[in-house]
């Protein structure tokens, strides 16, 4: 049984976000799957290089290895919610140290430094780094400021559009949205500081990992719920926050 560490990240909204950092065992299994798949792709690409032969074949082989070893994992880290096939299979995901999704530059840095982590063989440096660091980071993670953590069940889910609410990917609630339904709401308990916190979260939520996003939304909703009478809580935490902000804006604060 693997013991995994938990780290607490303070978000700009004042919410302490707890992330479960993956241990060495689950990371090893994830890397084993990804490495095996990469080997299959590299072998397939080396066939035409061998046929070409000579300098052209050698150049083609070098490019193929570089693209698969560095470019492919970089693409998964930046454009697939930080989930390579191996991480998806083992229930892991890659995020920034603050819980945000990984941008392309950070993903590239992480995978370029992987070359050092692999030395002298079989990720020896990387394993030592994971064991020596408090957040189980290899050198690539330290350079890119990333963490490998447990993913939310099912991974990234598609945005849910709630009738009468703003789309989850919108930067903020629409002023005046759903005004007729808001007429009877009691928002006297909502302070300007509360509104600012909600606005901050709604503006940056698209850049958060799905797990982090759900946790912050839930914490803010529970914090604000006692001060609000009217909005439909059955619609979900983010819809509740959107409705409160839209109601405040509709009433001119």
| Domain limits for position 112 | 5-150
Which backbone phi and psi does 95 adopt, to 5 degrees? -135, 165
Is the per-residue pLDDT at 158 higher than 80? no
> Same domain, yes or no, for 10 and 50?
yes
> Same domain, yes or no, for 23 and 129?
yes
Assess if residue 162 is contained within a domain: no
Assess if residue 175 is contained within a domain: no
> Same domain, yes or no, for 99 and 39?
yes
Q: What confidence tier does 168 reach under pLDDT thresholds 50, 70, 90? A: very low
> Same domain, yes or no, for 20 and 59?
yes
> Same domain, yes or no, for 188 and 123?
no
Q: What is the pTM of this model?
A: 0.68
Assess if residue 26 is contained within a domain: yes
pLDDT at 227: 82
> Same domain, yes or no, for 70 and 193?
no
Q: How many domains is the chain partitioned into structurally?
A: 2
Determine if the peptide bond prior to 152 is cis (ω within 30°): no
Percent of the chain with pLDDT over 90: 35
Alpha-carbon distance 91 to 154, whole Å? 8
> Same domain, yes or no, for 38 and 120?
yes
Assess if residue 157 is contained within a domain: no
pLDDT at 4: 55
Is the per-residue pLDDT at 217 higher than 70? yes
> Same domain, yes or no, for 55 and 143?
yes
Is the per-residue pLDDT at 73 higher than 90? yes
Q: Are 50 and 178 in contact (CB under 8 A)?
A: no
Q: Encode pLDDT of 6-65 as tens digits.
A: 787 777 667 777 788 998 899 999 999 999 999 999 999 888 888 878 888 888 888 888
Assess if residue 171 is contained within a domain: no
Average pLDDT over residues 184-199: 80
Assess if residue 168 is contained within a domain: no
> Same domain, yes or no, for 207 and 142?
no
> Same domain, yes or no, for 206 and 135?
no
Assess if residue 218 is contained within a domain: yes
Question: Could you say which of 112, 128, 150 is where a domain stops?
Answer: 150
> Same domain, yes or no, for 145 and 60?
yes
Assess if residue 173 is contained within a domain: no
> Same domain, yes or no, for 19 and 107?
yes
Q: Which two tokens stand for residue 191?
A: 């302070």
Alpha-carbon distance 251 to 253, whole Å? 5
Q: What confidence tier does 170 reach under pLDDT thresholds 50, 70, 90? A: very low
Ordered strands of the 16-21 beta sheet: 5-10, 16-21, 146-150, 92-96
Q: Are 141 and 132 in contact (CB under 8 A)?
A: no
Between 139 and 192, where is the model more confident? 139
């Amino acid at each position: 049984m693997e013991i995994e560490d938990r780290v607490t990240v303070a978000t700009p909204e004042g919410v302490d976000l707890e992330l479960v950092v993956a241990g060495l065992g689950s990371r090893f299994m994830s890397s084993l799957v990804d490495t095996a798949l990469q080997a299959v792709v590299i072998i397939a690409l080396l066939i035409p290089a061998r046929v070409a032969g000579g300098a052209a074949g050698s150049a083609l082989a070098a490019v193929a290895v570089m693209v698969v070893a560095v470019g492919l994992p970089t693409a998964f880290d930046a454009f697939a919610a930080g989930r390579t096939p191996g991480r998806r299979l083992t229930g892991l995901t890659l995020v920034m140290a603050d819980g945000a999704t990984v941008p392309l530059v950070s993903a590239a840095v992480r995978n370029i430094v992987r070359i050092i982590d692999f030395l002298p063989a079989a990720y020896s440096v990387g394993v030592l780094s994971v064991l020596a660091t408090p957040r189980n980071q290899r050198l690539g993670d330290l350079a890119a400021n990333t963490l490998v953590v447990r993913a939310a069940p099912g991974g990234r889910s598609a945005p849910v559009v709630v009738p009468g609410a703003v789309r989850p990917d919108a930067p903020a609630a629409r002023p005046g949205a759903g005004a007729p339904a808001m007429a009877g709401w009691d928002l006297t308990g909502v302070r300007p500081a509360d509104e600012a916190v909600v606005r901050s979260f709604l503006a940056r939520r698209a850049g958060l990992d799905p797990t982090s996003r759900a946790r912050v939304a839930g914490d803010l909703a529970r914090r604000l719920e006692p001060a609000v009478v009217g909005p439909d809580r059955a619609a979900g935490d983010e819809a509740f926050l959107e409705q409160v902000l839209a109601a405040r804006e509709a009433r001119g604060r």
